[in-house]
Amino acid sequence: MRRTVISLVLAVAAVSLLGAPGAWSGEPIQIALSGPLTGNFAEYGQNWQKAISLGVEWINAAGGVNGRPIAVIYGDSKSDPKEAAALAQKYTADSRLVAEIGDFSSTACMAAQPIYDRAGMVQLSPTASHPDFAPGSVWSFGIIGTQAGEGPFMARYAVQLLGKKRLAILNINNDWGIATRDYFVKAAKEMGAEILGVETYFETEKDFTAVLTKLRGLKPELLYVPSFYNEMALMSKQREKLGWTDVAMMGPGSLFSPKLLEIGGSAVEGLYTSAVFFPGDPRPDVQKFVKGFEAKYQATPNMFAAVAFDSINLLADTIRKVGTDRKAIRDELAKTKDWPGITGKITFTERRDVYKDYRHLVVKNGRFALFEK
């Protein structure tokens, strides 16, 4: 009798651990994640992890996928190309894993891409925006939109909306930074802007005083900085310290993170950026996600959390339709049309990337706000 009670308690505990209302009709469906859970991009990776575990919780609470729960295997790549490739080897060899979400940077994604391609496993990156990433393999998908879309958008923002004609660029020296710079420069030149100077920096750089002093000598009206929040915050602080105040700072949507405001403080006031996801968006599914995220983590989700949330839900919906065969998932995913995500509707082009609607943002009184002229 006593033994029965104990095993009953254990069984209930086991089921409730899975977060399910009743018994599952099968093993969990496993999806792999490769992202920067630690390291310099850790804030992005941790946002992914939070949003994805919230997504999984909601999917499983609603009965899972075809009677089976979803489980995500989290792997830490630090967004290092070597680590991303090693994780890809591990994931593709494990037949229980049906698809992969990741990696973070285009560089890391493209390093792992040939491995997913050879093994035949979906590689769905929430954030890779390099225009050559998704076309590189029929197994690769990108849902953040590419610089081919964001570059001209930012150029219109700078040249037409803000009326800045004398521009200078300071970009991170990697695949993503160069592509981001080139699409912006091409579009800005077509709109009649003048590019006074282009400088690059390496990923580990912390001292921007010399390069800022050099750019300052060119007297640009606006400095466009394809970079991440960490460097942008340091750069802004060092710019402030040098007393260079008569320049507008602008960067792509990669800067849209509370950490930028936290590290940058007063130095990032007036900075222009963009976003595909804005927590103040009144759409009900966006508000449901924002409220759920805030209740669980006491923090407002950012764009990176939102695209990760879309990634897991998109995969779950796809698996719901075609089952867990890796090839069937790819074929169905490629057909995705007008799928309603919290970062806008997702329709894959024949290159398996998407065009996004962007929002004009500006840092105002220490917060991100929609830009109004």
Binding residues for other proteins, rule: CB under 8 A, are 38-40, 42-43, 78, 173, 199-202, 204-207, 209-211, 213-214, 216-217, 230, 233-234, 237-238, 240-244, 262-263, 265, 267
Min separation Cβ 174 and other proteins, Å: 12
Min separation Cβ 200 and other proteins, Å: 6
Min separation Cβ 98 and other proteins, Å: 31
Q: Which is nearer to other proteins, 81 or 145 (CB)?
A: 81
Cβ of 136: how many Cβ atoms within 10 Å?
Answer: 18
Q: What is the DSSP letter of 344?
A: E
Q: Which is nearer to other proteins, 233 or 342 (CB)?
A: 233
Q: Which residue type occupies 58? A: W
Min separation Cβ 37 and other proteins, Å: 11
Sequence-distant (6+) residues with CB within 8 A of 249 are 222, 223, 225, 232, 236, 239, 268, 270, 271, 272
Q: Which is nearer to other proteins, 46 or 287 (CB)?
A: 46
Q: Which is nearer to other proteins, 2 or 202 (CB)?
A: 202
Instruction: Select from 38, 106, 21 the least CA-distant residue to 74.
Output: 38
- In this structure, the dihedral spanned by the alpha carbons of residues 149, 155, 157 and 158, taken in order and rounded to 10 degrees, is 160
Q: Which is nearer to other proteins, 207 or 285 (CB)?
A: 207
Min separation Cβ 242 and other proteins, Å: 6
Min separation Cβ 205 and other proteins, Å: 8
Sequence-distant (6+) residues with CB within 8 A of 91 are 32, 34, 73, 75, 97, 100, 121
Residue 202 to residue 175: CA distance in whole angstroms: 12
Q: Which is nearer to other proteins, 239 or 326 (CB)?
A: 239
Sequence-distant (6+) residues with CB within 8 A of 30 are 71, 72, 73, 96, 97, 98
